[in-house]
Structure 1
Amino acid sequence: MSWPQTFGRKSLAEFLLSRWRGQVPLGKLFWRDTIVAGTIINLAISVFALLSLGAGLPLAAALAVHLLPLPYNLFLFIAVWTTAGRRPFMIAIAYQLAATVWLVFVTVG
Structure 2
Amino acid sequence: MSVQFTLAKCPDLDDPCFHNSGAQDVLALMGYTVDDGMCGMEEAEQFVGRALLASALLESASADQVGWPGSWEGRTFHAGRTPGYLADRLSQLVELGLRAKKEQSKVSWG
Q: TM-score, normalised by structure 1?
A: 0.38
Q: Which has the higher helix share?
A: 1
Larger Rg: 1
| More contact order relative to length (CA 8 Å, sep ≥ 6) | 2
Q: Which has the higher strand share?
A: 2
Q: TM-score, normalised by structure 2?
A: 0.38
